[in-house]
Structure 1
């Protein structure tokens, strides 16, 4: 915001510009580095989760979207949890550990 704003107090236009720059910075480094750490099976899992937005996602819904039994997705889910990309806020649910990851995945897939 400080580098974008030309005046103080800040304007709504400056805030929108700063948000776009921030999103571009996250999209060019932070989010791709997290995505790149995932295996292809884990990326399928993340993509299925992204359909729910910021979540949480029901594990059963994720499995249904991928077209596999929920029990067969245990290794992908565990790998994502171990890598710190998702967590389980309660039994049967998974969520992204960082805000904006679902939007990043949806942007990269379209």
Structure 2
């Protein structure tokens, strides 16, 4: 999962910066701020690695996906797809933890 998180954050940060540098949408000031939100969403995924709680990791990944799509739009979709894969892994891990707790 660590490799997926690094890949997602790399896609999110790099593609958002490319969108910022080349002005993919418009030259308005608001879209520049939105691109920075895409970069912050990529950094947010990295913070998910620090959390030990699976529920918190799932929340961080989902909020990062939402922020990234709102901020960088279509440019964030590769990172969002990787985030969905991370979400599936976290969901599986969470189900395993819940079944382990019930059996004990």
Q: Counting strand residues as a fraction of each chain, which structure ranks higher?
A: 1
- Tell me the TM-score normalised to structure 2 length: 0.31
Higher relative contact order (CA 8 A, sep 6+): 2
- Tell me the TM-score normalised to structure 1 length: 0.29
